[in-house]
Amino acid sequence: LMAEDLEVAVAHLTGHGAVIAPSWDGGTSLLGGRGERAFSYGRGSFHTHLRATPAAKVLVRPGLSLDLDTPADYQAWLRWSGGVRAGGV
């Protein structure tokens, strides 16, 4: 996740009222908007959130598509980031 990913999300939030980003495994890695919403977790949550907020802007970006939920996700992140490590990770 890079600062630019969040900047793009905030910019789209202004114009669309809601933003959503799918994770690579079908989950949701980013969900933002005004008002109350029910949250869903795990595989398939992206489509659940999208059905609940059909006017949301869908953001597909490499930096937003990777959730770090499992050791395999962490290994994928290491490959994607070129091995760059963040403090404490």
Tens of pLDDT, residues 30-78:
998 887 888 888 889 999 999 998 889 999 988 888 777 788 888 877 8
DSSP secondary structure letters along the chain: --HHHHHHHHHHHHHHSEEEEE-TTSSEEEEEESS------STTHHHHHHHH-TTSEE---HHHH----SHHHHHHHHHHHTT---TT-
Residue 88 located in a structural domain: no
Q: Is residue 89 part of a domain?
A: no
Instruction: Flag whether 7 is in a domain.
Output: yes
Q: In this structure, is residue 87 part of a structural domain?
A: no
Q: Is 67 within the bounds of a domain?
A: yes
Does 77 map to a domain?
yes
Q: Is residue 60 domain-resident?
A: yes
Range of the domain at 25: 3-81
Residue 8 lies in a domain: yes
In total, how many domains does the chain have? Answer: 1
Tens-digit pLDDT profile for residues 53-66: 888 999 998 888 87
